[in-house]
Amino acid sequence: MHFLTGKTNIDFLGKRNIALGFSLILILISIVSIYSRGLNLGIDFTGGYLIEVGYSQSIELEPVRSALAKSEYSDALIQHFGTSKDVLVRIAPRDGVNSARISDDVLNILKSTSTDKVEMRRIEFVGPQVGEELREQGGLAMLIALFCIMIYVGLRFQMKSAVGAIMALIHDVIITIGVFSVVQMPFDLSVLAALLAVIGYSLNDTVVVLDRIRETFRTQRKGTAVEILNMSINGTLSRTIMTSLTTLLVLTALFLLGGEVIHGFAFALIVGVFIGTYSSIYVASNSLVLMGVEKHDFLEHAKENEEIDELP
């Protein structure tokens, strides 16, 4: 438990080539899955109708699928929502048909598949144009966030640190999206919000490590760049692990007990915390090694900041 006292001496960057290969494999799997399988986009992005119904007893989905397949709703997607008594039906948008008629039709079809009482819980509709706009605006929001972060880190530290931080964030986002593509969990607006939260969480961890790296480079007189980077990572390891563990405890509780509505949100954050913790230790620091960071990079930046502070 030495990590709790901050007195670890782990050679993280001694395994940097293994970590680099591991990251490249995860990114490759994610990209291949995204292009081959795509994302299971939720109604927020695709548009259409979302209907939630509740049964008095547990219901099997196969009779429901068969009944809808024999009707004009053969393209419907059916799944349990929270418990085996709750069913969620997703239907693609239809021109000239209002929500009331669709909800009545679906409810009548579901009643015909069971003798149990069937209750309409909710129905939502998102137009295809609105879904496309949400998809475009969501992607644009992530790009703007990454650009602003690069500017902030570049001004706060130096450009090599900014590149390392952005590489870590891109790494986290691609792998998190890739996991959703592999497991085909619905990707909706709540998951997009979780991705933006992952960017913020990962950036916070990375900035803490970069700040310690800068301080160590300025104060440590001896040692190679790799040794100083290892020293910096070990110095922040206790904080990184404790923050990640406490965050994961909350997210796990949300995922298990929070209900189906926030499953995707909690799952994205759980994946993001794991990947973000890993990237703050390996990806950002490894990027600095690959760019050949040296002590003078931080000393020159410190001198520039002092000159700016002295200006009237």
The pLDDT assigned to 22 comes to 92
Query: Does the structure show a pLDDT above 50 at 309?
Result: no
Look up residue 29 and give its two tokens.
């799997």
Domain limits, CATH 1.20.1640.10, in the chain? 2-40+131-310
Please state whether the predicted TM-score (pTM) of the whole model is above 0.85.
no
Query: Does the structure show a pLDDT above 60 at 251?
Result: yes
* Residue from 70, 74, 82 nearest 259 by CA: 82
Domain limits, CATH 3.30.70.3400, in the chain? 48-126
Say which residue the tokens 């973000």 belong to.
276
Residues 98-118 pLDDT 10s: 667 777 777 787 777 777 777
Contacts of 9 (CB under 8 A, 6+ apart): 234
The strand ranges marked E within the chain are: 48-55, 77-81, 83-91, 118-126
Q: DSSP code of 72? A: T
Q: DSSP code of 250? A: H
Contacts of 33 (CB under 8 A, 6+ apart): 178, 181, 182
Q: DSSP code of 187? A: B
C-alpha–C-alpha distance, residues 180 and 189, integer Å: 13
Contacts of 14 (CB under 8 A, 6+ apart): 226, 230
- CATH ID of 2-40+131-310, from 2.170.190.11, 1.10.10.10, 3.30.930.10, 1.20.1640.10: 1.20.1640.10
**Could you give the strand order of the β-sheet that contains 118-126, starting from the edge strand earlier in sequence?**
77-81, 83-91, 48-55, 118-126
Residues 40-79 pLDDT 10s: 877 777 777 778 888 878 877 787 788 777 777 776 777 7
CATH topology of domain 48-126: Alpha-Beta Plaits (3.30.70)
User: Residue ranges of the alpha helices (H) in 157-224?
Assistant: 159-183, 189-219
C-alpha–C-alpha distance, residues 216 and 214, integer Å: 6
Q: What is the mean pLDDT of residues 182-191?
A: 85
Residues 275-297 pLDDT 10s: 988 888 888 888 887 877 776 66
Query: Does the structure show a pLDDT above 90 at 28?
Result: yes
Confidence of residue 307 (pLDDT cuts 50, 70, 90): very low
**Partners of 124 in the β-ladder:** 50
Q: DSSP code of 258? A: S
Q: What is the mean pLDDT of residues 199-228?
A: 81
The dihedral formed by the CA atoms of 75, 185, 188 and 91, expressed in degrees to the nearest 10: 10
First to last CA, the chain: 50
